[in-house]
Amino acid sequence: MSEQEPGPVFGRDPSTRVAFLLSQVGSMAASQFADRLADLGLQPSDIGILRLILLNPGMSQQDLASKLGVVPSRVVSLVDGLESKGLVERRRSTRDRRNQELHLTEYGGQIMGRMRDIGSAHERHVVQALSEDERLVLGELLAKVAASHGLAADVHPGYRAAPPSSP
């Protein structure tokens, strides 16, 4: 977001500017989620990492770097931040002492528990204007678009150098 999404230059009805609307609404959803996390002193990027470690305990920093699509040196500073907050623990592997095995601390696990509530409150707020049926349809259409572009089900593409924005 950094961010900047231009705006549709063309069509005026929603069906001819779906790409812009996706970017615009997606950016809004992302920044509202960031606001909720700020109360915990966390950033959206932190949650993505905590979640991957929760699902893959003991994963190495290289694993994490390749899943996120970022450079290893960036993982160092991201994990540094989480470790200094007491959420993540590095354990030097005994089988290959070059590797760090990443684990959530007990506190990190608690935070992920609280994330459930934060996430569902966020979800409800974002789609508050839609009926239950509409939410279902929107979710299915978005999942279809996501799949057609090869997006992994649980990794956000925003870890890579994010341009300010776009339609």
Residues that bind DNA (CB under 7 A): 1-4, 43, 45, 60-63, 65, 70-77, 79, 90, 96-100, 160-162, 164
- Give the one residue of 59, 81, 89, 126 binding a second copy; rule: CB under 8 A: 126
Cβ proximity to DNA: between 68 and 115 the closer is 68
Cβ proximity to a second copy: between 20 and 99 the closer is 20
Give the Cα separation of 37 and 43 in Å (integer).
Answer: 6
Sequential DSSP letters for 2-53: -------SS--SGGG-HHHHHHHHHHHHHHHHHHHHHTTT--HHHHHHHHHH
Cβ proximity to DNA: between 69 and 139 the closer is 69
Pick the piece of the chain touching a second copy (CB under 8 A) from 58-66, 82-90, 100-108, 159-167.
159-167
Task: Return the residues of window 9-68 that contact a second copy according to CB under 8 A.
Answer: 9-10, 13-34, 37, 43-48, 50-52, 68
Residue 44 binds: one of a second copy, DNA, none (C-beta under 5 to 8 A by kind) = a second copy
Residue 5 binds: one of DNA, a second copy, none (C-beta under 5 to 8 A by kind) = a second copy
Question: How many residues in total does the chain contain?
Answer: 167
Give, in degrees to the nearest 5, the angle at Cα 69 between 88 and 77. 40
For residue 37, count other CB atoms closer than 10 A to its CB: 19
Residue 72 binds: one of a second copy, DNA, none (C-beta under 5 to 8 A by kind) = DNA
Residue 149 in the binding site for a second copy (CB under 8 A):
yes
Give the Cα separation of 23 and 13 in Å (integer).
Answer: 16
For residue 101, count other CB atoms closer than 10 A to its CB: 19
